[in-house]
């Protein structure tokens, strides 16, 4: 359950309660459920107004148990429901006003119907519709069209999208909040295409093999190589930047 901030010595005041936590303590408390969370992520959510920790006279952040609960709620909605920060913020504000609001949903278009069908959680089907993708990323038609022009998101022949496009769209939107525009991401798309081509080159002989069992093994090998490629890419970026992510 999400609680509203208390009055009096509330958010933004100097920290006087010994039960308040430093940002490092908060990070350790969250990592069991959210192993990829970082101090930068917490600070970013603060800058977006999703949390408002107290400050000591010297300027250090101090978090209450309610702040940590709110953080967990935000991270959970991002991870499990692919919701953009704007939608999450509106949902939390409604809850703090005491409104009984359902968890925000993304609309899935039903065949032969003009009204979206609400569903909870990220898409489970292999394909998603355009309206669903727009809602998940929290962007408009113009922005999605721009992403498509740079090859970041590509529709299928019938206008639908692979389900993974939801993750790509959400990440592109998140990077945009840092001032990273779609045109800046062309180099990342080109690198991803080259990496995918390398994996395809390795598994191609398995796909062409006469033995059906060997051909079936190609998919497992593709997933394994994709996982290793992603890990190597992340490690190389961290090395180049001189940072270490959890």
pLDDT tens-place string over residues 221-237: 888 888 888 888 888 88
How high is the pLDDT of residue 102? Answer: 67
CATH T-level topology, domain 105-180: Multidrug-efflux Transporter Regulator; Chain: A; Domain 2 (1.10.1660)
pLDDT digits (tens, 9 = 90+) for 18-50: 689 999 999 999 988 888 788 888 888 888 888
Please give the biggest Cα pair distance in the chain: 74
Name the pTM for this structure. Answer: 0.48
What's the pLDDT tens digit per position in 137-158? 777 889 899 999 999 999 888 8
Instruction: Give phi and psi for 57, each to the nearest 5.
Output: -55, -30
The token pair at 171 is 């990440």
Report how far residue 122's alpha carbon sits from residue 16's, in angstroms, rounded to the nearest whole number. 41
User: Highest-confidence range of 84-93, 103-112, 140-149, 169-178, by mean pLDDT?
Assistant: 140-149
Vertex 40 angle, CA 37 and 105, to 5°: 55
User: Distance from CA of residue 239 to its chain's centroid?
Assistant: 23
Classify each residue of 54-79 as buried b or exposed e, where b means 16 or more C-beta atoms within 10 Å of its C-beta.
beeeeeebbbbebbbebbbbbbebbe
Share of the chain above pLDDT 70, in %: 80
What b/e readout covers 133-154, taking b as 16+ CB neighbours within 10 angstroms? bbbbbbbeeebbebbeeeebbe
Percentage of the chain surpassing pLDDT 90? 13
Task: Domain 23-96: state its class.
Answer: mainly alpha
Residue 128: phi and psi, rounded to 5, are -130, 155
Q: What is the mean pLDDT of residues 165-189?
A: 87
pLDDT band at 106 (very low <50, low <70, confident <90, very high): very low
Look at the alpha carbons of 73, 78, 83, 84 in this order and tell me if their dihedral is positive or negative. positive
Q: Which residues in the chain are classed under CATH 1.10.1660.10?
A: 23-96
144 — phi, psi (to 5°)? -65, -40
The C-alpha atoms of residue 120 and residue 107 are separated, in whole angstroms, by 9
The rounded distance, in Å, linking the Cα atoms of 235 and 95 is 40
User: What is the Cα–Cα distance from 139 to 82, expressed in whole angstroms?
Assistant: 13
**Which of 214 and 241 is assigned the larger pLDDT?**
241
Burial label, 42 (beta-carbon count in 10 A; 0-12, 13-18, 19+): buried
pLDDT score recorded for residue 21: 92
**pLDDT band per the 50, 70, 90 thresholds, residue 8:** very low
Instruction: State the virtual CA torsion across 34, 36, 42, 43 in degrees, nearest 10.
Output: 180
Question: From CA 225, how far away is CA 59, in angstroms rounded?
Answer: 46
């Amino acid at each position: 359950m999400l609680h509203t901030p208390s009055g009096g010595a509330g958010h933004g005041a100097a920290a006087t309660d010994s039960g308040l936590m430093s940002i490092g303590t908060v990070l350790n408390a969250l990592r069991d459920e959210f192993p990829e969370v970082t101090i930068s992520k917490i600070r970013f959510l603060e800058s977006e107004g999703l949390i408002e920790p107290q400050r000591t006279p010297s300027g250090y952040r101090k978090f209450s148990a309610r702040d940590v609960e709110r953080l967990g709620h935000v991270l959970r909605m991002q991870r499990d429901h692919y919701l953009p920060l704007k939608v999450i913020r509106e949902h939390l504000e409604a809850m703090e006003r005491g409104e009984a609001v359902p968890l925000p949903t993304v609309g899935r278009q039903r065949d032969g119907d003009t009204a979206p069908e609400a569903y909870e959680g990220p898409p489970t089907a292999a394909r998603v519709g355009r309206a669903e993708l727009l809602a998940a990323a929290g962007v408009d038609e113009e922005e999605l069209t721009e992403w498509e022009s740079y090859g970041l998101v590509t529709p299928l022949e019938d206008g639908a999208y692979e389900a993974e496009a939801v993750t790509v769209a959400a990440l592109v939107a998140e990077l945009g909040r840092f001032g990273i525009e779609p045109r800046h991401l062309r180099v990342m798309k080109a690198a991803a295409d080259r990496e995918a081509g390398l994996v395809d080159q390795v598994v191609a002989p398995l796909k062409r093999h006469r033995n059906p069992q060997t051909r079936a093994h190609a998919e497992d090998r593709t997933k394994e190589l994709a996982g290793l490629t992603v890990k190597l890419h992340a490690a190389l970026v961290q090395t180049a930047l001189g940072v270490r992510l959890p």
